[in-house]
Homo-oligomer: A and B are copies of this chain.
């Protein structure tokens, strides 16, 4: 498939796909006229890349981790695996912090709502 279709199927912009390639996250075969072609697999790969971005990884980090995802072999399962585990931990910590923040927000919302209700009560109006 060509770039437009991959973009549509993965839900990203064409620009992003070219950017991913530039960053070494995505490869493409080229037609004689130079147009990029992709296989079905790439859809999933792009989705994975998006998820990594959403998890706060940079292009460089994703690039370090991706080979491990694609083809597990002895070569990269040393540094890359280490890196992946490390990013997992970082993410885990981040999730924990976000959860605390959400709880804090919950608390604040509850307090504000209670306050608002108190204003509505005839006794306290």
Interface residues of A (CB under 8 A from B): 48, 51-52, 54-55, 68-69, 72-74, 77, 80-81, 84-85, 87-88, 91-92, 94-95, 97-102, 104-106, 108-109, 111-113, 115-116, 119
Nearest-CB residue, chain B, relative to A52: B101
Main secondary structure of the interface of A (DSSP, over half): helix
Nearest-CB residue, chain B, relative to A120: B74
Chain B nearest CB from A64 CB (Å) reads: 13
Compute how far the CA of A95 lies from the CA of B87 in the bound complex, rounded to whole angstroms. Answer: 16
Chain B nearest CB from A26 CB (Å) reads: 18
* Interface pairs A-B: 3 shortest CB-CB: A72-B115, A88-B105, A77-B116
